[in-house]
Each structure stands twice: as C-alpha cells, then as structure tokens.
Amino acid sequence: MKIVCIGGGPSGLYFALLMKKLGAHHDITVVERNKAYDTFGWGVVFSDQTLDNMRQWDRESAAEVEQAFNHWDDIELHIKDRVIRSGGHGFVGIGRKKLLNILQARCEQVGVKLLFEHDVDSDLDFPDADLIVASDGVNSRVRSRTPDIYKPDIVTRPNRFIWLGTHRQYDAFTFLFEKTEHGWFAAHVYKFDHQTSTFIVECPEHVWLAHGLDQADPDASIDFCEKLFAKNLQGEKLMSNARHLRGSAWLNFQRVKCANWSHFNGNSHVVLMGDAVHTAHFAIGSGTKLALEDAIELVRQFKALGDTPGHIPAVLQHYQAVREIDVIRLQNAAWNAMAWFEVCGERYCDQLEPEQFMYAMLTRSQRISHENLRLRDKAWLEGYEAWFAGRAAPNEVATSLRPPMFTPYSLRTVTLKNRVVVSPMAQYMAHDGRVGDDHLVHLGARAMGGAGLVMVEMTAPSADGRITHGCPGLWNDSQTQDFKRITDWVHLKSDAKIGLQIGHAGPKGSTCRPWQGAGMDHPVPADDAQGNWPLIAASPIPYLPHGDVPRAMTRADMDRVTADFVASTLRAVQAGFDWLELHCAHGYLLSSFISPLTNQRSDEHGGPLENRMRYPLEVFSAMRAAWPQDLPMTVRISAHDWVEGGTTPSDAVEIARAFKAAGADMIDCSSGQVSAQQKPTYGRMYQTPFADRIRHEAGIATMAVGAISEADHVNSILAAGRADLCAVARPHLANPAWTLTEAARIGFKDISWPRAYVSGKPQLEAGFARERALQTASKGD
C-alpha cells in the first residue's frame, strides 16, 4: 500500500513505524511542516500501561524512550503553605522533542520516508495514496475541509493556560496552587529530562482578565508567573518555546470529538488520528497516550484483517468501533479532571482543608476510586481515613480504621451511625393511604440491614396528593398510628434512624401503579373501580401529552395545601419520626412551581426564579415552624431538568440557597422527571456533581443520590467532600442488608449486626476475604 501520514506528531510517526514493520513492502511517507528534528512543546506524559504497549509493538523505540524518560510514582500538592504527597501513581515523562526525535530516527531505520518543511492543505494533495492518515493536530486542515463528513464536536473551554518550562527539577508530578487578590492559579509541573520540567499554569478567564494578562506579551506573562510561583521556583526562571505564537501565549483548551473518523475522498481512504479526531485535557496527561494507542490499534486491525488496499474499508470501520470505546472512556475522565480544575478556585481551594483537597484532586477524573487509592498508596489513604474519621467524630477515640461511609454524621440533635441512607422508594402497597405489614417488613428489614437512616417513600398530606391509590398518606389518626407502629419497631429493633418524606403529587397524581393499567405515570382509567381525582399544579400543563390536565392553583388552593402539609408535619411528630424531608422534585406539586417548564404563571408566583420559589418556600417555612427545632429537615430538589429551558445546575445552587435561608439543613440532590422530554446523561454516580456543586457553592450539606451502588462509590463521594450523605435506592431493593454486605466486601469488620443474625457475619466476611485474596493473586500473575 501507498500510505501518507500528514503530520509528524506521535500518532503519525508511530503508525508509520509500526505499519512499516508490519510490511516492509508498504510505501510510507510522513509529511511534516516543521524542520527535520525540530518541534515545539515541553514534556509529555503517559502511563506505565502505554509504555508496556509500546514494548510489545516496537522494543527498539520503547527501549530508547525508557532510557530518556523520567518515571515517578508520586503526586505532590502545594496549597496554603502545606505540602502533601501520595505515591503509587505511575507516570512517564519525556520531552516532546526527544520522543519525536526517537520516533523519527526509528522511522528512518525501517525505511519510512520523512518529508519535512512541507505544508499540506488537503488530503487531495496525494491522489495516488491508498491511505492517508491525518494526524495534523487539533486544528486539522484535513478535518476542516469536510466537517460535514467527520462531524466534529469542538468545545472551547473557559480556563486559560500557558505552557512553560523551568530548569528547576521536580521528583514528583507536582500541583501548585497560589491565590491572588483576584482568584486562584494552578500549576501542573513534572520533570521530563535531566534538567528541565514542564510548567503549565492555568486560571479561570475572569482571573486572567482581572490581572490584565490578555494584554500581556509572552515575556510579561512569564514574568507574572515567575513572581506568582517564586517561592516554589526557588530562584529558577520560567521559559517559553512558543515564541512562534502571535499575541498572548495563553490558550483555551479545545475538546475535539468526531462522530466519524474516516471517509473515502474519491481517490484515497482518509482516517483521522490523534488530536485531529479527539483531544484529552492535560489535567490527566493523556493526549500522547491517546495518540500512541491510536496508532497501535490501527496497525492491530491491519494485522488482523489484512494489509492490502482492499482491506482498508473494513479495517477503518473496525478501528473506529473498537478504539472509540476506550477513547470515550478516557475523554470522559479527562473532561471530569478538566472541569474540576476549572471550578476548583470557586468551590474547593478555599472551602476544603488541604487533606481533603488532596483526596478530591487525586479522584477528580473519577477513574481513581477509594479502593484504587488503597492499592496505590495504602499508608497515605489510611492516614487520610483517620483524618476524616477524626473530623466526623472529634470526641471519639478511634479503635480501628474506619472508611468514610462508616463514620457518624450529626444534624441538629440527630446522629446517624453511618453515612448510608435508604432512599425513599415507592412501594405502591398502601390501602386508603395506610401503611401496613408490607411497609413494616420493607423498612424494618433495611433498618436492620445496617443503614444509618431509612427513609419512607413519598407520603401525601392529603388524599388528592397521592401519586397512585397505592401510595401512603398522613392526613388522619389511623395513618399516624400505622406509622408509629413502624417507627417504634425500627427504634426498638435497630440503631437506625427513620425519616419521612412528605410530598404532594400535583400534576403527576391519580396515576396507575407500575404494574397496572397503562403503567407508571399514566392516568387511572376513568372506569377504574377506585376512580381518579382532579389534579392541581402551578399551571395547567400535563406531565404526559395525553395525561389529565391539572388545574392551576388559586390562592385558596395554596392555603389549603399548605395547611395540609403542616397538619401532616404535626402528625409526623406524633408518629415518632427522627427526620423530615420535603419533596420539591420530580415534577410533583412544589416542583411544578420551581421549574420554568411547568410554571407558566403570570402572577407573583411565576416568571423569575425568585417568584417561582415563593410558594415552595412558603410551604417549607410553615412545616419548619411546626417540626421540632431540634430535629433535622431536608429538601429534595431536581437539580437539573435535562431539558432545554428547564432548571439548570446553576439554578439549583440558587434554589438551595433559598431553602438554606429558610432553615433547611440539607439538600437531597436528585434530578429530572419534571418533563417527559428529558434526556439525562446516565452513568455511575451521575447526579453526584449536583450535590458537589451545591455543597460548595451554596454552603449547605448535601445528600447524593443516583447510580450509587457500591461502597467504593460512597467512600469516594464522601472522602472527596462531594456530599455528606449517600442515598442508595435500587441496591437496597435487591439486598436489604446492603450496608452490612458492603462492609464485609471491603473488609471492614467493626460494624454491629442484629443479634439474631450475627452468626452469619464471620462467614460473609471470610467469603469476601477469599475473593479479595484471589483477585490480588490473579493480578500478581
């Protein structure tokens, strides 16, 4: 085959090298616009795993890289005059120029032609090529020529960064944080040869502008950074090798993601590679890793499917299908890491103590979990766990190491034994609003299962506030006594606390149980024996297009409903609940006032968020006044409607601030279910970022909920300070003793079991211990 690689970066050179090794008969040329053995940039970083892959595909170049690279295991944080260090992370740093020179020389050794100082405008410049590999960078001309084919999604991020170097030597991947009168700056620093370190400085746009750096030339910017980080630089200077850039040397990162990676241009097959097709932010240092592994995978496909011109279409199709999965995973991790640095000055630098800031920084990409940190640096993590436990219970003497999820948590006079909450989950088993044996068994089993707090499903303050005929209510004495039977049982038989979530279904009421009629959210049929009831909401907007249309509430309706909420609150006191939550989420009545999607009112309760919050705050304040002042009261909100024009995470911060001012102790951060048009982005812990943002920007405790399914998730969330409690839903449906099971799974034994079940504890712990031992042994092999 005749192959042309446009762009002499890591992906183009490495592909050319490996492809020539695969078949010496291939005619391969790498076209590069710069001079021979010349390149820009400082050091690049990739993982030990990438180097292992390189050894398998070309031992010669891998050996040269190993001789030239700097390897380190440690990450070091400098913030607020503190230095914290953690090991076991495994990075490789090498000068970009050195890496490319090694690959250039190796290409020449195997017979790849290198054509320097040749600027290419288009893939059409090589009509006789069978395959054109466009590795021409983030501003790829090849990609730009036919954007309708590649369909690039390019997002310019807000932070500014400048890529510098220094002769100061660092023996760890070092992160420096310095605060100025206008905000925080961060530096990402790592050594890449025996005398030079990369020194990337970044800051938010508004901080950059406030310091006048938009008007600074490269020399002035370097002078500013030298003064800012003078204490750490210890007299060394900062340097730039980007003098070729016009204007400011500060850049904005561009995230590139293409829907299609290849096409046939009429003469040649063209495939994008490296930064031309996808970029990964330097916050996890994976741009070079992506580039090299792109090259490996494409050659792997040619080796597997055939390396003749006729095989090219199938190879390119399989290449994208296989490679895209790993790229998306890494890009998502890089996005998380990038987003963390973009907001750390606003959310974390001032708010978190250095110990917790370090943990949050290490886990910023969400690829590194709590137990993964234990594998990397057990001593550091155990020290951090001791620190976290000491903050959670400062008056207790620790008898054993205690993971974050098993530390106590106090609100007002209520102390939870641990941070696990059984999320309120509808059972649809009530009769005339009354709970019975089904609820006693459901809630009682989970209270005995180890959770710190068990929440009752949404309970209506009136008959017309129910979601279905099977939903519980608290509007009469019989219902109060039914609930008291359950709370008494929980208090007698377990050391868990029990809470009640009160909510009015509003426009989503009078619907079928999930297993009946048309199913969840669909109206009860008019001919149903139990009948349906009229609906009320902020505005006459049905949840489903064919659903019953609610009536817009009048002032008289509001007064009645508020009185119902207060009466239900007083009954919750009589029933003996420890905790009260007001449901203002998921499109139910109070949520219908908050979201602009469901509130189209033109009176004082419609329009701007301040007005839309008026009635929910009125209800909350009335309930807070009726609820004992020594007991906690929380609010569940939908922090994101997942619909254009709906509530956003920024709005959620303001919503949380308003409830905090009204006396809320915590925000239970859910999302969605306000509109049937929603398009959520699902994934593990996908709603936790809302809890994280609200906690640090609104300054109120939060509960994280949503796709939290294992102890590792809970510990990671709590340890990083992203939430104060974690509500676990569906896993508790499958396993009432989820908390006890997860404790055994991670090897935490200092947890009490119900006396009747304690004989099962050692067997469960031993079984999981064997599993962990087998996993460790298999990794060793």
Give the residue numbers marked as catalytic: 588
First to last CA, the chain: 40
How far is the C-alpha of 477 from the C-alpha of 484, rounded, in Å? 10
Q: Which amino acid is at 416?
A: L
* Burial bucket for residue 340 (CB in 10 Å: 0-12, 13-18, 19+): buried
Contact between 386 and 398 (Cβ < 8 Å): yes
Tokens standing for residue 1: 């085959």
- DSSP letter string over 476-521? SHHHHHHHHHHHHHHHHH-S-EEEEEE---GGG-SB--TTSTT-TT
Residue with token string 């868990």:
496
Q: Is 223 helix (H, G, I), strand (E, B) or coil?
A: helix
Q: Please say whether the dihedral angle defined by the alpha carbons of residues 288, 293, 298 and 302, taken in this order, is positive or negative.
A: positive
Strand partners, 500: 456, 580
Give dist(CA 175, CA 74) in Å, integer: 11
CA dist 599 and 153 (Å) reads 33
734: helix, strand or coil: helix
DSSP, res 434: B
Query: For the purposes of burial, counting CB atoms within 10 Å of the CB of 243, is it exposed (0-12), middle (13-18) or buried (19 or more)?
Result: exposed
Distance CA 488, CA 483 (A): 9
DSSP symbol at 279: -
Separation of alpha carbons 681 and 677, rounded Å: 13
Local structure of 703: helix, strand or coil: strand
Cα–Cα distance measured from residue 222 to residue 680, given in angstroms and rounded to the nearest whole number: 43
Cα gap 188→619, rounded to integer Å = 48
* Token duo for residue 397: 């003497």
- Reading across the β-sheet that carries 27-31, which strands appear in turn? 113-115, 27-31, 2-6, 131-134, 269-272, 262-264
Q: What are phi and psi of 202, to 5 degrees?
A: -135, 160
Count of CB atoms within 10 A of residue 767's CB? 12
Provide the 8-state DSSP code for 153. E
Q: Are 283 and 143 in contact (CB under 8 A)?
A: no
> Tokens 């459901």 identify what position?
442
State how beta strands 409-411 and 414-416 pair: antiparallel
CB atoms within 10 A of CB 583: 23
Task: Please report the sign of the dihedral spanned by the C-alpha atoms of residue 284, residue 287, residue 292, residue 296.
Answer: positive
Measure the CA angle with vertex 16, ends 15 and 21; round to 5°: 95
Which residues make beta-bridge pairs with 2? 27
Q: β-pairing, 173-180 with 75-79?
A: parallel
Q: Which of 345, 355, 387, 363 is nearest to 77 (CA)?
A: 355
d(CA 318, CA 297): 10
Q: What are phi and psi for residue 87, nearest 5 degrees?
A: -115, -175
Backbone φ and ψ of 52, nearest 5°: -60, -45
Cβ neighbours of residue 603 under 8 Å, at least 6 residues apart?
none
- Residue whose C-alpha is closest to residue 9's, from 109, 125, 101, 123: 101
